[in-house]
Structure 1
Amino acid sequence: MQLDRLRLQNFRSYAALDLRFNNGTVFITGDNANGKTSILEAIGMLSIGKSFRGTSDSSLTRFQSGDSWFVSGEYTLENQLYKLDVAYQKGHAKRFKVNGKSLSGRQDLIGRLISVIMSPDDLALVNGGPLTRRRFVDLLLSHQSKSYLNALMQYSRIVKQRNQILKQARKDRMQPRNLEYFDKQFISTAENLIAYRVEFLKKFGPILQNKIQAISSQQDQVVCRWDYADEREAESFSESVHKNLNRDVHSGYTTIGPHRHNLLFILNGNNIDEHGSQGQKRSLVLAMRMAEYYFLHMVTGIKPVLLVDDVIRELDQQRRTVFIDMLYDSNQAFFTSPDLDGIQWQSGRQRQVLQVRKEHEISQVHGND
């Protein structure tokens, strides 16, 4: 998989931009606040249909340039050329197209241009709440399986409807009506998601362990497991739902299920969230992103495009060595960095260096070797 071209209109600080890329490594250099990360953000938009920085669609519009923006990209997969378009207009849902054909929504975009995104905000995967880790797993599995993504969307709709019934029952101080119909769907869909996630950890866990050992020179051991809101969920979700009904009514919302699960990381026998050092957390985050890359390659047969936002300088020599191995394995990687000081690349690997200036002009400093 290789991204060949990127075009922007009124996106972030760019009025218009048209870039063509090589395979290998693409370095995007320039001073801070010049628009380097915006290029990665646009590529990420083509991959996951939203900003990986958590920015709202309206805030991505170029200042004083109207109420719309446009991102387009061309990529090659197995000698086939594909064109993706994402268009935003204020007051309307984003529009997605592939090869000129409209898609029904973001769910049909995900899984096409597969990417792994690394940014300074990744520490939130460890320091943040359960939602952050669930989203990590959900996006990863959605790249792998449309069935999982469809089940996840169906589950979210069911939980929303179920919560409305529970909220009304709490208000009326009576047993909820019509809940039996929703609970059949709720239980079936939840059990499907749980099965996907359990199977995911069976494959992802060993890869993560391999990468954390490589980073720590075989010193650290990591185990990842799901922490359920109710211990009975893993054995009999249906039974757990029925036994928690009164609590759900009292709370006015669904208190158990995949939307309440937490992914725990046990490093050397301790929960890293509570006992891990800052260095151990950084190592785990790097190992997670590397495991994400190798997992997706394993289950899809496709090497994801790497998007690396100014993180290589934060890595010590050991972490950097392991990270570079992943870089050399990839077909294409995009790096942002103020400059190239201290950054080395493999002899014979293609590289492209783009320099972003303050006026948002981009020049190619180096081409292929």
Structure 2
Amino acid sequence: MLVSYIDKLQLTDFRSFAQQDIIFDSKQTLILGQNGRGKTNILEAISLLSIGKSFRGKTLSECVRMGAQVAHIVAQSVVDSEEEKISAHIVATQNNLGQRSSVRYERNGVKKQKKSVVGIIKSVVFRPEDLEIITGSPSTKRDFLDEVLIQVSPVYLTALREYERALKHRNKLILQLRDGLVTRRDFFFWDELLVKHGDLITRERARFIHFLNTAVVFPVKAQVTYDHSIMSEERLHQYATAEVAAGRTLVGPHKDSLSVRMQLSSPLGGEEVERSTTEGVKEIESQQDLQDVSLYGSRGQQRMAVLWLKVAQLQFIEAQTKQTPILLLDDIFSELDEHNRELIFSLFDNHQVIMTSAEEMRMLPPKITDGLLVNL
């Protein structure tokens, strides 16, 4: 397994920081500070280098400090004993439509395309807001799938970018079609792009879901149901009239969602049934002892489901890339009971762990105060 970690992070005009340099221990670092001091900003910057976007789900222009035009993120890291200097420079611009942003990437001082930089530093983020993966909107659940797959597959990143570009153009065409300004022949090029890249996105997502349902090592039994919207010429034709009324494309991976079913009580001895996955692989599941955790799970059980998904993300990245991701824990321990804390602690071995907390040292579990301490 390739070991990776970050030595140093330099932030300039990023969020609340005019200039901030942070040194990390290769094993464990705890960042302490009161709320509003920028602890989460540090984890956000590292994650941004991993996946090419903010885990806060906002536009990247918001990452540029007020009054500045460019935010700089520079990480000095080690991957398989080789030093890597990864940089992202976020440029915020203003036009009639509001703020926009562009990002320039560099690897060891050389300008690179996004797909050549994203995923070099791999990370898994644990945040209290992750509960939204279970209880939130389908878009939040799709973001989780993308966050995983972007780090293991440059092809997926390219397909996702091209799909989103084609979708945007096609939706504009739908509105123009409704106004009589274009015909269906103008859709041909964009339809082909959507079908091509949409198929790859669906297959890659299904591959991760299959891993979730068959290969994850975790103390609680769980399964994911992948509610995928297939993109094809036939389905586009099927929804042609409805999409004009709606003013947008109604089928494709941008409509995907997922749900998690978990063993919420002792097994009921339910009958095992066989079903086919998207990949055509037969799986055995017991339907009676697995329930939709978003509907029937307690808050604690929903947090357990989030942990299962995050552990799955960690194990999938390691299985696909043979590289250890960095664990980024954003003030999560106050939200977890002792059992869930122990599950997190079990992940510390063989990974660099960077944690934040607003609590006083004496209130924290001893396990997380063992490494380097950074006060903000």
TM category, shorter: 0.7 to 0.9
Which of 44, 48, 51 is the aligned partner of 1:41? 44
Root mean square deviation of aligned Cα: 2.4
- Render the CA deviation track for 1:122-161: whole Å, top value 9, x for unaligned: 1111121101111110121110001111111121122222
Inter-partner Cα distance in structure 2 for 1:158 and 1:147: 16
Q: Name the residue aligned to 2:84.
A: 82
Q: Does 1:344 align with 2:339?
A: no
Q: Is the 8 A contact 2:212 2:223 kept in 1?
A: no
Aligned twin of 1:227: 227
How far does residue 164 in structure 1 lie from its aligned partner after superposition? Answer: 2.3
Equivalent in 259, 272, 278 of residue 264 of structure 1:
259
Which residue identity lines up with residue 344 of structure 2 in the other structure? F
TM-score if structure 2 supplies the norm length?
0.82
**Aligned-pair CA distance for 1:120:** 1.4
Task: Find the counterpart in structure 2 of residue 94 from structure 1.
Answer: 103
Measured in 2, the distance between the counterparts of 1:249 and 1:157 equals: 19
Say whether 1:8 aligns with 2:11.
Answer: yes
Does the 8 A contact of 2:134 with 2:259 survive in 1?
no
Matched with 2:282 is: none
Shift in alpha-carbon separation, 1:315–1:160, aligned structure 2, 3 A: same
Displacement over 6 Å in runs of 4+: none
Structure 1 residues 34 and 187: alpha-carbon distance in aligned structure 2, compared to 1, 3 A threshold: closer
The DSSP-based 3-state class of the residue aligned with 1:37 is helix
> How big is the shift at 1:225?
1.9
SS across alignment from 1:32: coil
Once the two structures are superposed, residues 82-109 of structure 1 have per-residue CA deviations (whole angstroms, 9 ceiling, x without a partner) of 111222343262222111111234x443
Asked if the contact 2:7–2:76 (Cα under 8 Å) also holds between the matched residues in 1, the reply is yes
| Cα pair 2:64 2:92 within 8 Å, conserved | no
Residues 1-369 of structure 1 mapped to structure 2, 5 A cutoff: 1-63=4-66, 66-91=68-93, 93-105=102-114, 107-172=115-180, 176-208=184-216, 210-211=217-218, 214=219, 218=220, 221-229=221-229, 233=230, 237-268=232-263, 269-330=290-351, 332-337=352-357, 338-340=359-361, 341-345=363-367, 351-356=371-376
- Residue 80 of structure 1: how far off its partner (Å): 0.9
Contact 1:144 1:296 in 2 (8 A): yes
Distance 1:238 1:222, change over 3 A: farther
Residue pair 1:117, 1:308 contacting (<8 A) in 2 also: yes
Matching residue's letter, 1:281: Q
CA deviation string 1:165-219 (max 9, x = no partner) = 22222222996233334333322322222221212211122345x42xx2xxx4x
Alpha-carbon displacement from aligned partner over 1:322-365 (angstroms, at most 9, x marks no partner): 111112242x010111333342239xx97211122xxxxxxxxx
- For the 8 Å contact 1:175–1:249, the answer to whether it is kept is no
Give the distance between the partners of 1:184 and 1:10, measured in 2 at CA. Answer: 41
Contact 1:168 1:176 in 2 (8 A): no
Contact 1:165 1:177 in 2 (8 A): no
Describe the SS at the equivalent of 2:354: strand
What displacement does 1:39 show? 2.0
Change (3 A) 1:257 1:51: closer
Residue correspondences, number: 338
1:295 deviates by: 1.2
Out of 237-246 and 153-162, give the one that drifted further.
237-246
Separation in structure 2 between the aligned mates of residue 13 and residue 182 of structure 1, nearest angstrom: 40
Tell me if structure 2 keeps the 8 A contact 1:226–1:263: yes
Give the deviation of 1:55 after TM superposition.
4.5
CA distance in 2, matches of 1:29, 1:8: 17
Name the SS for the 1:172 alignment partner.
Answer: coil
1 CA distance for matches of 2:15 and 2:165? 32
Change (3 A) 1:339 1:47: farther
Which residue number in structure 2 is paired with residue 363 of structure 1? Answer: none
Distance 1:350 1:278, change over 3 A: closer
Range with greater deviation from structure 2 (45-54 or 120-129): 45-54
Secondary structure at 2:303's aligned position in 1? helix
Which runs of 5 or more residues in structure 2 are unaligned? 94-100, 264-289
Task: Return the offset for 1:45.
Answer: 2.9
Gapped regions of structure 1 (runs ≥ 5): 357-369
Matched residue type, 1:150: T
Q: Do the aligned residues in 1 keep the contact of 2:7 with 2:23 (CA within 8 Å)?
A: yes
